[in-house]
């Protein structure tokens, strides 16, 4: 989907409602699709997004190693951590084990 061009008389400060009418939420927040990205890169003279980033961001600021995240926790560990939260919460918010169905059996649940 192409981004709509702003009218030439568009004020620099529009209301949120006016901004929301210019394009659907997905167009404003998801970013360009593959065709739009290719067109943009072609107009800018780059063959890939990485080439554009290399030209725009100094190497001293780039971290090519990627995010250093801990391993994901198992469901059992997550349940134990949730149930170990302080018991200062009102009784209606204490952790209970669900027995509602097979799909939720053994998972923590906040009761009311």
Domain housing 42:
16-59
Phi then psi for residue 28, to 5 deg, are -75, -25
Q: 0.95 cut: is pTM over it? A: no
Number of domains in the chain: 2
Per-residue H/E/C for the chain = CCCCCCCCCCCCCCCHHHHHHHCCHHHHHCCCCHHHHHHHHHHHCCCCHHHHHHHHCCHHHCCCCCCCCCCCCCHHHHHHHHHCCCCCCCHHHCEEECCCCCCCCCCEEECC
**22 within a domain of the structure (yes/no):** yes
Q: Looking at residue 88, what is its pLDDT?
A: 61
**26 within a domain of the structure (yes/no):** yes
Q: Looking at residue 101, what is its pLDDT?
A: 46
């Amino acid at each position: 989907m192409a981004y709509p061009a702003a009218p030439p008389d568009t004020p620099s400060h529009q209301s949120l409602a006016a901004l929301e009418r210019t394009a659907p939420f997905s167009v404003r927040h998801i970013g360009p699709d593959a065709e739009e990205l290719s067109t943009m890169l072609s107009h800018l003279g780059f063959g890939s997004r990485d080439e554009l980033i290399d030209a725009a961001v100094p190497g001293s600021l780039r971290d090519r190693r990627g995010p250093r995240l801990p391993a994901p926790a198992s469901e059992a560990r997550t349940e134990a951590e949730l149930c170990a939260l302080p018991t200062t919460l009102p009784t209606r918010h204490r952790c209970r084990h669900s027995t509602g169905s097979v799909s939720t059996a053994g998972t923590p649940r906040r009761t009311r």
